[in-house]
Chains A and B, each alone.
Chain A
Amino acid sequence: MISNPVLRKELAGNVRMRQLPRVARVGCLLLIASLIGTIYYYVIVRFILADRGTTTAVDTWHVVVILQAALICLISPSIAANSITREKEQQTWEMLLFTMLQPSQIVFGKLLARLYYLGLMILIFMPIELACWAKASNEITTAMVALTYLVMAVSALCFTTISLYVSWVVKRTIYSIMSGYSIVIGGLVICTSLSAAVVNGSLANNPLMWINPILMFGQAIDPHIVTGGDLTVAIITYLLATALMLTRMIIRLRDFSLEA
């Protein structure tokens, strides 16, 4: 996959820091590393491990996962919004399509480059979560951690694919960003909640809520606090939607642009 020219170009092109002198680059990296190190130290050593009980660890675990879920819901719908619209806006799309690249190379190259950066943002919290898990392994089971990361991975993949898909369909980045947020925040978060409340008078036990990302993360971090949702169905639905969007893009990548 790393031999994919689109993926390599996207990864290289997105790191604007490359244009800085070497000394400045090293300085920036050291600054970021020291900032993250300080946060890890205070949260893990001075906060989680300093507590004699497990309450702090469990609470921190919940906060961190909610933070990650918020990042996924807020960043994924826009992270790939410019991946194809930028090519259209800067008039490189036609030249890219004219190469001998397979549609799958273009689609996966752009998708994986965006997921790479999103993954870094999510995984930056991992040491804190591992500390929580080590400290309170009775309350935070290995299965819960695995399930939480599965939900995060599936949500990030699905929302980033939505973002990429709308970027392919529309011509302007601004429309792409708006469409991405409308689908994820407007559709999956707000509309499912409103519809469930109107139809059932309750959010619980309503199939409309199964695909609500907030409910999915809630179930992952604590299966006891939310009932009625079916996480397996939600994950399969997300994966199916992702597969459908990717398949359509790969099959029609060039066709769509021909008459657009």
Chain B
Amino acid sequence: MPMIEINHLRKEYREGNKAKVALKDLSLELEQGDIFGFIGPNGAGKTTTIKMLATLLIPTAGTASINGINVVEHPEKIRAIVGYMPDFFGVYDDIKVWEYLDFFASAYRLPRDRRPSIIDDVLALTDLTEKKDSYVESLSRGMKQRLCLAKTLVHDPLVMLLDEPASGLDPRARIEIRELLKELQSMGKTIIVSSHILPEMEEFCNKIGIIESGELIVAGDVKTIARSVRGQHNIDVVVLDEIGRAHAILTGMSDVVREVKFVGNRRRSLSDENPDAETQPMERRIEDPSAGGTLQIGYTGEPDEEYRILQVLVQAGVRVKAFYTPETDLEDVFLRVTKGVVS
């Protein structure tokens, strides 16, 4: 049984006499332990979907269930197994950190005698133990974000719905949140997380869904999506010398290799936050055919053919230093499948 099952979910809002469609027939299945990255431009329908799963919005049509429980028919049961962190949230400033967590622990009906240890555990998990007796208003924004995550974890939910958990945070705080999500992943939680920071999403999400104008355009495994979007697999080959000969050999394998690009000695790092950086490894002209460098190969085949390409290069005496599948560029995938339309 899937942990999260969504069938033809639809949400319409009334604006005067007109119905505005926020979400159109969204269907999705996630297994336990999946980390699903929900990607889409502002107004695409991510928050609407998350709120419907969190029982805070009633769908116009369709069904959604978590752990086999229908979210519309049994909202109380859903709230017991789901942790929800909204995109914009506040905290109660006028109480202490432990009081804040104790309030939510009691609101989730945790027994009084178990609450102190649970609070200590979630504070340790979110690295806030030292702030236990501080007033919430004294925390930094990143700490408040982690406190909100701690609150979300206090009843040990099976599923976590995190709407833009790292938005508005500085790089250090974002890294802390990312590390925390990785830890939750290792604990077996099923997580739906929406974010605009795509390089970070592909680092810990095993599945993604791209939504635009209320429609789920594509969903599934990150690499499979990248392949289907690009229509090919990519391999990076780093050679020590004779890059010109390696380029010629690969270009000659036209039955397997679709394109060969010389990308120099450096690829843009996926975590590079420089907005001026190229979104794609730029193809360059080979200045010195006898020098080393990196070639990016686009091919259409199966893993067997990766082996064949490597074999041909090695047998031809090309000194291959590295041969690997590059990280998927989620930003590239996102830009290819979306049109920049909001619903």
Contacts and interface: CB of A to CB of B under 8 A. Distances in A.
Q: Which of A92, A99, A101 has the most CB of B within 10 A?
A: A99
Given A94-B56, A258-B58, A99 B107 contact: yes
A94 B88 CA distance: 10
Nearest to A102: B76
Interface stretch (B31-39, B79-87, B227-235, B290-298): B79-87
Nearest to A13: B94
B253 interface: no
A159 B188 CA distance: 50
B56 A98 contact: yes
Contact of B95 (A12, A90, A98): A12
B60 to A, nearest CB: 11
Contact of B107 (A19, A94, A101): A101
Interface string A245-259: 000000000100111
A49 interface: no
B99 interface: yes
B151 A100 contact: no
A95 B56 CA distance: 10
Interface string A12-26: 111010010000000
Nearest to B51: A94
Interface residues of A, number: 24
B79 to A, nearest CB: 5
A259 B106 CA distance: 27
A5 interface: yes
Interface in A28-48: none
A91 B88 CA distance: 7
Interface string A113-148: 000000000000000000000000000000000000
A6 B57 CA distance: 23
A170 interface: no
B324 interface: no
B151 A98 contact: no
Contacts of A90: 90-93
The B interface is mostly helix, strand or loop, or mixed, namely loop
B27 to A, nearest CB: 23
Interface residues of B, number: 29
Contact of B106 (A5, A16, A97): A5
A101 B90 CA distance: 18
A98 B56 CA distance: 7
B90 A100 contact: no
Contacts of B56: 94, 97-98, 257-258
Nearest to B83: A98
A92 B57 CA distance: 16
A98 B88 contact: no
Contacts of A95: 84, 86, 89, 148, 151
A100 B107 contact: yes
A258 B58 CA distance: 7
B190 interface: no
Nearest to A16: B94
A92 B76 contact: no
Interface of A: 5-6, 8-9, 12-14, 16, 19, 90-92, 94-101, 254, 257-259
26 contacts: A5-B103, A5-B106, A6-B107, A8-B103, A8-B106, A9-B95, A12-B95, A13-B94, A13-B95, A90-B90, A90-B91, A91-B86, A91-B89, A92-B89, A94-B86, A94-B89, A95-B89, A95-B148, A95-B151, A96-B107, A98-B56, A98-B84, A100-B80, A101-B107, A258-B56, A259-B57
